[in-house]
Chain A
């Protein structure tokens, strides 16, 4: 059993990271009071921008093109999320519909652009990120082989962002303002906080993080943009709820999904697991989530004003 865990752990972490960062983006948006179900579309956008950037810059920059691609994916994701921000903050549109629109536009427009620019709907990158063992740390017994072997640079980047986000949300004035806008925007408004500005920041951070998430998928395990991220954006949204809108909660939730999905994916080549029918392993994380959502529904910690448009005159 232990050897199996060691065997799949690095890959489970690699699968978790894009989910984690996207879910964290969703946290910023929802904590500011804007529901963002457009995460999937924002990820697709990030994946497209990164793929295109890397394929153009690779001949010039070599391996550093990957990092340029990641950076541009974040910027592109943030800009694309402005559509959602504008519709749901300025126009008071229904945020679920606006998010759905983002998902639909992203899937179509990226393939359209990919085809007009490169002549193919699939953009293939020559080289993604390499994996490495963290020096010294990977020699630590037990956790060394689990956490510090075969890691991608993006994993550490995302974990650093997670820690920073935790600090930002709970320990700084900005975090307090962000949370207050999601809980009671009118009170925040009365206290002199610019609710519109905070919500714009929240949505743009979610766009940037989701864009990064999509790009991480590309540079780590997929290597090719194909107009879809296979529903990971929705899984990130589920993790956000499962993790009760808390940074460490979503770390746990996304890792649970990542580990369970990896287990299901590789079960076929591990004789001990191949005895369990594949569909049981594949359905397992979703069944647990459904159960957890039912259990937690009474004590849900959802930001109270999430999904409600804010306007000054409805106090």
Chain B
């Protein structure tokens, strides 16, 4: 009997703890904006976080209800369930980050015709990669190759001589375009701006996942051991391991740099006071995209049915405004290159062509 009572007490404590975690303050004004997270947490310093920050900023500026739900898994069924939950709770404007939502949104846009969907980094399709964007959906892509290009130019100018590497997550278009753009940026700097950076095909790899921290550390260690000075990581958690390895080396007094991705990763590379191993970051302004779409909806200008590209022209990609590890000359030169990208004087290819991998 005592044991049963004890077990009951333990259970009730846990249940209480569970429920206290759920209560969130909710105001009741305006539109309700919901988000379903992709794999990873809301504070992944990448896609989920960027999207959510954009939603929060819009929620604050326009006094909206905001909510995110984290699915239990990463299958279509998991995503659809959470979209249904948001819809039932009145959140009829939904933002979903990541290409994994493509087939989910394809179904959801027909199932919930009076809801609006923003799909970041993907376009809805039935599994056959033929985009079908309904009037209630907008699909957003980023010009990752332009972002990678700028980061490549900036890093090459700063390092001048040496060898660069690349660690990607899964071999998917968004990551590949970062890689190809980066290589073009390095080549551009070599040809037009007088740098001498080598990129060895053996040091261009796709790890195959976004969460294998150990592999990221080990890959980075091998590259640094072979004489690479800076590695561009477009690899989520794999990049976390690589950053950690670079920090260990920087602490031992060696030259080891990482070029961050998606968001400004400078703070993550700090290993002593304010010194960071993050040279610069190839950013996608995901938060801007989410914010702009919410604003467009409120203004009655929701670009439904369209596939939008965020690139240098509309300030959708770029490197951070502040780059403590880049010299002033480099920053100026990169601004020049950025202007040329905007004017179309420089065109970065989104295709592999004769680039490595």
Q: Is the CB of A11 within 8 A of B221?
A: yes
Indicate if A268 sits at the interface (CB-CB under 8 A). Answer: yes
Complex A-B, nearest 7 residue pairs according to Cβ-Cβ distance, in ascending order? A223-B244, A265-B215, A268-B205, A221-B217, A120-B43, A121-B41, A222-B213
Indicate if B219 sits at the interface (CB-CB under 8 A). Answer: yes
Chain B residue with Cβ nearest A90: B3
A115 / chain B contacts, CB cutoff of 8 Å: 43
- A222-B221 Cα distance, complex, nearest whole Å: 13
- A29-B268 Cα distance, complex, nearest whole Å: 38
A261 / chain B contacts, CB cutoff of 8 Å: 214
A120 / chain B contacts, CB cutoff of 8 Å: 43
Residues of B within 8 A of A (CB-CB), count: 41
Given contacts A130-B252, A131-B252, contact A269 B215 (CB under 8 A): no
Our pick among A121, A224, A271 for the contact of B244 (Cβ within 8 Å) is A224
Q: Which of A15, A119, A266 has the most CB of B within 10 A?
A: A266
Q: Is the CB of A265 within 8 A of B211?
A: no
Q: Is the CB of B203 within 8 A of A269?
A: yes
Q: How far is the CB of B230 from chain A (nearest CB, A)?
A: 15
Chain B residue with Cβ nearest A223: B244
Indicate if B85 sits at the interface (CB-CB under 8 A). Answer: no
Q: Is the CB of A221 within 8 A of B270?
A: no
Per-residue interface assignment for chain B, residues 231 to 265, with 1 indicating a CB less than 8 Å from any chain A CB and 0 otherwise: 00000010011011101100110000000000000
Our pick among A8, A91, A130, A270 for the contact of B3 (Cβ within 8 Å) is A91
B240 / chain A contacts, CB cutoff of 8 Å: 222-224, 226
Given contacts A223-B247, A230-B211, contact A112 B21 (CB under 8 A): yes
Chain B residue with Cβ nearest A125: B244
Indicate if A289 sits at the interface (CB-CB under 8 A). Answer: no
Our pick among B211, B248, B272 for the contact of A131 (Cβ within 8 Å) is B248
Q: How far is the CB of A31 from chain B (nearest CB, A)?
A: 27
Residues of A within 8 A of B (CB-CB), count: 37
Our pick among B206, B219, B270 for the contact of A126 (Cβ within 8 Å) is B270
Q: Is the CB of B43 within 8 A of A121?
A: yes
Q: Is the CB of B218 within 8 A of A11?
A: yes
Per-residue interface assignment for chain A, residues 95 to 123, with 1 indicating a CB less than 8 Å from any chain B CB and 0 otherwise: 00000000000000001100100011110
Q: Is the CB of A130 within 8 A of B248?
A: yes
Interface residues of A (CB under 8 A from B): 7-8, 11, 15, 91, 111-112, 115, 119-122, 124, 126-128, 130-131, 217, 221-224, 226-228, 230, 261-262, 265-266, 268-271, 274, 278
Q: How far is the CB of A223 from chain B (nearest CB, A)?
A: 3
Q: Is the CB of A128 within 8 A of B202?
A: no
A128 / chain B contacts, CB cutoff of 8 Å: 244, 247-248
Given contacts A111-B41, A122-B45, A131-B252, contact A265 B212 (CB under 8 A): yes
- A7-B208 Cα distance, complex, nearest whole Å: 22
A112 / chain B contacts, CB cutoff of 8 Å: 21
- A124-B45 Cα distance, complex, nearest whole Å: 11
- A122-B240 Cα distance, complex, nearest whole Å: 11
- A7-B222 Cα distance, complex, nearest whole Å: 8
- A17-B323 Cα distance, complex, nearest whole Å: 37
- A128-B218 Cα distance, complex, nearest whole Å: 16
A122 / chain B contacts, CB cutoff of 8 Å: 41, 43-45
- A8-B223 Cα distance, complex, nearest whole Å: 11
Q: Is the CB of B219 within 8 A of A268?
A: yes
Q: How far is the CB of A109 from chain B (nearest CB, A)?
A: 8
Chain B residue with Cβ nearest A121: B41
Q: How far is the CB of A172 from chain B (nearest CB, A)?
A: 35
A111 / chain B contacts, CB cutoff of 8 Å: 41
- A12-B21 Cα distance, complex, nearest whole Å: 40
